[in-house]
Structure 1
């Protein structure tokens, strides 16, 4: 609580910290896939960026919240899908993540997108028909709600190359569902391929280095599995160090680029490599490096094998696949002062009930990483009607390093779209532990939300015909609650001798009293509860657990 008090004092808010408010991690209302959540000190609110949820003509949904539980949708989206935004990709805009530089005042939005036009595909992947040519882009804005504009009309300056990969796609037939039947047959394929990239996560090490973690898109990455005796198409998690010029550029006009330690490290490999297919499609000449972080080859785990036999199970319509993607990395120190890096990732198909979250740990940012034997640590729970849990981000309350949460997407049914859920996360470096708290019931909201304030202003009327007030509820940092959200409500009534003769109507934040009230109009802020015997409860707060607790309420006067 001391840290929370210091954070609130720095933000210029009152010292009352205690509240009995709760939230329920159920009945979702916020459509959000691959959510990235961050605390924004400029606005005093949490911001979520999502693959889905943008309006027509926009890319990536944006939501904001005072409590990381009740969200408001920002109109439009993150990037206007038009020429002025320097949009370079042609589809598959996935997994946005936003980072704020306090020194320069710029917000950076990293995301994945795919090229489809053959000439552009060949420019980054050599082959004009390269399957699923995805890259990482970066857009910037002065505001967390955008609009974001791409720094340049092209992806980041990075050409990841795998010189030792036998590109079995070159000896396969479209639609590339059936790989070679034996490892020996696959070994006849040419060596070398460029790596399609998705699910960017930027990690700022306290050493000063900047790292990009990303997923090697499963498409075109056929890996021989000795256990099953077959090729499986995999996505793996890799990392690469970035330069720092882009981060410190006061004008945000510098594109991120791979650090010189990783630039062109595979030049000359393999010896027989030809950089282009023909003169019409000049291919890339750079061959940048990377570090393998998570893959089945590095460390197999049985729970990640839910889809390795999908070809037979689907009567030949799906590929045999294995996923490791959607990573987030944090750094902690054990009791001896040694660094421990924790990396969460998602495995299995995002549409599958088997989709879940695991983690790995390392003593160095570039590994080696070791998967936990506790995996998966987050998975579906049919008893709660929560399915396909995965691809989230790690955020501390008010951006702190304590009281961690893992906002992630999940489905309320096996066929539903993805919504935003939130789980409390616990990390213990000494025991290399990462796990989640209770996910059901009435859950305590993050510290720093209280004390709440209530304000009211007359919107219309103020006479014998009736009066409408607009009522707002704000967090300690000034972020407004969405009173139309099904987890929030105002309860209003008239106290006095004439109370029964006056009708009171509440719609969101609008309180309308018909006629002239014969007493005071009382308004109380309530939160929805999982407890069926008391589905709504007044929110109370106090300066200390020993002082009197006050209901969050106001009195309206005419």
Structure 2
């Protein structure tokens, strides 16, 4: 049933968005228009040479598909990067969510979360010699602290030390009677298979836009940048299937904190007047010539009926003269191609 559903969704995407997202206006100025027609949630883009590779929550009962592009706009599906039916990948049972891939020590490492046979969500690491896979587990689970954990993000600092950012999921994390998702950080071993030391709390819901009066609250989807010696943590808040799902950021001078949330949050949020609902769970990459930064994120495919069906978007992101993070979006009008 899941496979048939995805085939229908992919056909629907071709009908609505087409398979070529590049446009030429009357002056032959090349543009693209969001959304980009790839039905994927929690998108993560890895740049390798002149190509880009897109991963995300795609076939949650089997694993993760991968797409390839030369321009960040037009994407070609390349099949499964990770498949639970491959030998060695049997650990995860379902809920394969939010994969990310890094190029590290001449290999490609995928970090992802899945539901284990004991019913808890846990984080695992897989490796491959190619960005398109196949990826095979090398540590599953990566750790087990008695909670459900999701949304792993590996950040390699400028000194070469790897760190794991992850989310203690609100499904099992109850604080003062409320279900709350919190983002933590831990140092990783050089081979990425062991966590080192105790976890440090990075951020948790604390700003009004994050639904502080709700019984369920979220800070999730971490992604870290470093600029002029300052660390920037992009994260998402609110329920993923709500139009209020949005992106904020926090800064720190040290990966272990303290992290201070921006007073400008959220920096990317809904605009139902142009059909944008629930922009969130992002990654950041560079343009083909490395001159610009682009944020890669999902929105609800059907803005009037938000759900788990989400679609790919990209927009420009930059640091202003005061070091504040700014996004030129969300957009639904033609934008200059990267």
Structure 1 length as normaliser, TM-score? 0.53
The Cα shift of 1:84 comes to: 0.6
Q: How many angstroms apart in 1 are the aligned matches of 2:225 and 2:110?
A: 19
Partner of 2:46: 38
Partner of 2:333: 441
Which of residues 6, 28, 31 in structure 2 aligns to 1:22? Answer: 31
Which of residues 372, 375, 393 in structure 1 aligns to 2:262? Answer: 372
The Cα shift of 1:20 comes to: 3.4
2:295 partner SS: strand
The Cα shift of 1:373 comes to: 0.8
1:303-452 to 2 correspondences below 5 Å: 303-305=209-211, 308-309=213-214, 320-333=215-228, 339-398=229-288, 400=290, 402-414=291-303, 415=305, 417-428=309-320, 431-438=322-329, 439-446=331-338
Question: Residues 389 and 212 (structure 1 numbering): CA distance in 2 closer, same or farther, change over 3 Å?
Answer: same
> Is the CA contact (8 Å cut-off) linking 1:62 and 1:73 kept in structure 2?
yes
2:159 partner SS: coil
Which of residues 187, 201, 213 in structure 2 aligns to 1:292? Answer: 201
The superposition leaves residues 415-460 of structure 1 with CA deviations (integer Å, 9 ceiling, x where unpaired) of: 36101111111124x62411111423221122xxxxxxxxxxxxxx
Q: How many angstroms apart in 2 are the aligned matches of 1:217 and 1:399?
A: 37
Partner of 1:170: none
> Is the CA contact (8 Å cut-off) linking 2:65 and 2:82 kept in structure 1?
no
1:365 partner SS: coil
1:182-201 to 2 correspondences below 5 Å: 194-201=146-153
Q: Deviation above 4 Å: which 4+ runs of structure 1?
A: none
> Is the CA contact (8 Å cut-off) linking 1:85 and 1:148 kept in structure 2?
no
Q: How many angstroms apart in 2 are the aligned matches of 1:82 and 1:413?
A: 32
Partner of 1:506: none
1:498-537 to 2 correspondences below 5 Å: none
> Is the CA contact (8 Å cut-off) linking 1:386 and 1:413 kept in structure 2?
no
The superposition leaves residues 489-509 of structure 1 with CA deviations (integer Å, 9 ceiling, x where unpaired) of: xxxxxxxxxxxxxxxxxxxxx
1:84-483 to 2 correspondences below 5 Å: 84-101=87-104, 103-104=105-106, 106-116=107-117, 121=118, 133-152=120-139, 154-156=140-142, 158-160=143-145, 194-224=146-176, 231-244=177-190, 246=191, 256-259=193-196, 262=197, 289-296=198-205, 300-305=206-211, 308-309=213-214, 320-333=215-228, 339-398=229-288, 400=290, 402-414=291-303, 415=305, 417-428=309-320, 431-438=322-329, 439-446=331-338
The unaligned stretches of length 5 or more in structure 1 are 1-18, 122-131, 161-193, 225-230, 248-255, 263-288, 310-319, 334-338, 447-558
The Cα shift of 1:195 comes to: 2.8
Higher deviation after alignment, 79-88 or 383-392 = 79-88
Q: How many angstroms apart in 2 are the aligned matches of 1:198 and 1:436?
A: 26
Q: Within the alignment, does 1:68 sit opposite 2:72 as a pair?
A: yes
> Relative to total residues, which structure has the larger strand share, 1 or 2?
2
> Is the CA contact (8 Å cut-off) linking 1:390 and 1:409 kept in structure 2?
yes
> Is the CA contact (8 Å cut-off) linking 1:39 and 1:399 kept in structure 2?
no
Output the aligned Cα RMSD: 2.0
1:139 partner SS: strand
Q: How many angstroms apart in 2 are the aligned matches of 1:209 and 1:81?
A: 30
Q: Within the alignment, does 1:47 sit opposite 2:53 as a pair?
A: yes
1:303 partner SS: helix
Q: How many residues align?
A: 307
The Cα shift of 1:412 comes to: 3.5
Larger Rg: 1
The superposition leaves residues 103-139 of structure 1 with CA deviations (integer Å, 9 ceiling, x where unpaired) of: 42x11111001123xxxx3xxxxxxxxxx51111111
The unaligned stretches of length 5 or more in structure 2 are 1-27
2:195 partner SS: coil
1:393 partner SS: strand
The superposition leaves residues 187-228 of structure 1 with CA deviations (integer Å, 9 ceiling, x where unpaired) of: xxxxxxx3321000100000221100000111121222xxxx
Question: Residues 115 and 399 (structure 1 numbering): CA distance in 2 closer, same or farther, change over 3 Å?
Answer: farther
> Is the CA contact (8 Å cut-off) linking 2:127 and 2:136 kept in structure 1?
yes
1:35 partner SS: strand
